[in-house]
Amino acid sequence: MASKTSIFLTGATGYLGGSVLQRLLTHPESSSFEITVLVRNAEKAKLLETFGVQTITGSYSDLDKLEVAAASSDVVFAIADCDDVAAATAILKGLKKRHIKMGTVPILIHTAFPLGVLVDNAEGKYATDNLYSDLDIPKIETLAPEQPHRQVDMAIVAAGEEGFVRTHIILPSTIFGIASGPLFDKGICNPHSIEIPCMIQIGWDRRESGMVGPGKNIWPLVDIDDTADLYIILFDRAREDPTVSHSRNGFYFAENGYYTHYDLAKATGQTLVDFQRATSAEPTPFTAEELEKYFAGSAFFGTNSYCKADRSRALGWKPIKTTQDMLDSIKPETMTLIKSGRIADPYKLKTVFGRYRDTY
Ligand SMILES: NC(=O)c1ccc[n+]([C@@H]2O[C@H](COP(=O)([O-])OP(=O)(O)OC[C@H]3O[C@@H](n4cnc5c(N)ncnc54)[C@H](OP(=O)(O)O)[C@@H]3O)[C@@H](O)[C@H]2O)c1
């Protein structure tokens, strides 16, 4: 009997991690997978076990648990906090132990964020033309170590170059759309992304849509299902072919179009008008007080990030949804937030972006 593939996944209760886990559970080879997930919430851990998943109750602060779990795994999906150097180091330590014990080269699929690693300091004043392709590794290597997430990415690439693990870093853009499937229907996983719901919630709170400065800055975008599909395509390809780009060459952007923050804010404003929450669709710049109130003082939403997913497409990834789909998703997302009562919580970004307040 062929041996099973042991998989360890973090971020299982999240928007992206839940979407990837959902696909692993319905994968054509799922009967040959032994899936273990890290979960902070014990109740959710129990619910996840009913889907045939083993759970470890703990967080990224439990470095011993991360190391032990990685040491028992052929494949690790890291889809929780992409800034946590200690957690990434513990996972790499475990994978090294796996290599030494089994003589195999395990696979790491880590999640980062081009919105972090590529960003500038535009304050919404201009759109960049500085395009990064995931095939242009020398250009990616010019990024300063101080860029958000870069420390973690560099540690992962260095481990891959040592040869005990094949490392792959997926960098999804602004992900949009409501995540769906049984894990979400049961309330185990968060169905909402970060940026677009927060812009809706903030607009709802201030009764007009907002942006940083004139909102001319651009970011890339990608749909949630397209993004989760990329993880599975990479997982399948990396298992069947060890020469699939990894380690120094293992950067995979997820992008299928771009938007200016003005366009996002204008479409959000129109939705606020449609729901009679605002009288004008025209967005206005956040004041200094509002940047403090909603973003812990960070102007991160005024940055540019401009990337092209050439390597991901060369792998066979064919994303479907585009910028128009993102703009069209704002109204149904608003409706869902109203129904769940989450519309009245505009403060999630305070914790997400507060860490960048001294830089952006
Ligand atoms: N959404 C996007 O647009 C986007 C785009 C690119 C990259 N990313 C990155 O992808 C990752 C997941 O994002 P998401 O949108 O899925 O966010 P999310 O819905 O908030 O999910 C985050 C997941 O990570 C878990 N988690 C967070 N901190 C943890 C910690 N210290 N220890 C253990 N688990 C922890 C959460 O557990 P709980 O359920 O217990 O909170 C949850 O399962 C993040 O690193 C994010 O920066 C997101």
pLDDT digits (tens, 9 = 90+) for 227-247: 999 999 999 999 999 999 999
**Residue 262 belongs to what domain range?**
189-221+257-306+320-354
Angle between helices 323-340 and 261-274 (to 10 degrees): 40
> Residue 48 is encoded by which pair of tokens?
């996840």
User: Is 2 or 293 the better-scoring residue by pLDDT?
Assistant: 293
Whether 91 contacts 149, CB under 8 Å: no
In a domain, 314, yes or no: no
**Shared domain check, 44 and 10:** yes
User: Do residue 201 and residue 348 come from a single domain?
Assistant: yes
Residue 97 CA to residue 93 CA, distance in Å, equals 6
Q: How many domains does the chain have?
A: 2
Q: Which residue has the tokens 């990837």?
A: 20
**CATH of residue 155:** 3.40.50.720
pLDDT tens readout for residues 247-263? 999 999 999 999 999 99
Ligand 1 centroid – CA 13 distance (Å): 8
Residue 315 lies in a domain: no
Q: Are residues 237 and 292 part of one domain? A: no
Instruction: Tell me, yes or no, whether 58 and 207 share the same domain.
Output: no
Mean pLDDT score of the chain, rounded to an integer?
94
Would you place residue 117 in the very low, low, confident or very high pLDDT band (cuts 50, 70, 90)? low
Q: Are residues 238 and 280 in the same domain?
A: no
Using the atom order of ligand 1, give the atom closest to the CA of residue 190: 19
Question: 232 CB contacts (<8 Å, ≥6 apart)?
Answer: 20, 23, 24, 27
* Predicted local confidence at residue 3, as pLDDT: 86
Residue 313 lies in a domain: no
| 15 occurs within a structural domain | yes
> Are both 217 and 229 inside the same structural domain?
no
Q: Is 230 in the pocket of ligand 1 (CB under 6 A)?
A: no
Same domain, 94 and 243: yes
Q: Give yes or no for residue 17 CB within 6 A of ligand 1.
A: yes
Give 338-359 pLDDT, tens digit per residue.
999 999 988 877 777 666 666 6
Give CA–CA dist 212/291, Å, rounded: 8
Ligand 1 contact, 305 CB (< 6 A) = no
Separation CA 177–CA 182 (nearest Å): 16
Q: Is residue 184 part of a domain?
A: no
Pocket test for ligand 1, best of 8, 16, 61, 176 (most atoms within 8 A of CB): 16
- Same domain (yes/no): 294, 329: yes
Question: Of 252 and 120, which is predicted with more confidence?
Answer: 252
Atom of ligand 1 nearest to the CA of 176: 3
**Whole-number percent of the chain with pLDDT over 90:** 87
Task: Report yes or no on 134 lying in a domain.
Answer: yes
In the prediction, which pLDDT does 144 show? Answer: 83
Instruction: Among 104-118, 148-162, 200-214, 278-292, name the one with the lowest average pLDDT.
Output: 104-118
Q: What's residue 358's pLDDT?
A: 64
What is residue 292's three-state secondary structure? helix
Residue bearing the bigger pLDDT, 147 or 343: 343
Instruction: Work out the average pLDDT over 88-104.
Output: 98
pLDDT above 50 (res 1):
no
Q: Quick one: average pLDDT of 205-212?
A: 98
pLDDT at 145: 82
In this structure, how many other beta carbons lie within 10 angstroms of the beta carbon of residue 103? Answer: 7
Q: Find out whether the beta carbon of 79 lies less than 6 Å from any atom of ligand 1.
A: yes
Structure tokens at 299: 């102007």
Q: Determine if ligand 1 sits within 6 Å of the CB of residue 123.
A: no
Question: What is the number of the ligand 1 atom nearest to the C-alpha of 83?
Answer: 45
Q: Could you tell me if 58 and 205 lie in one domain?
A: no
Note whether 123 and 291 are within 8 A (CB).
no
> 210 and 86 share a domain?
no
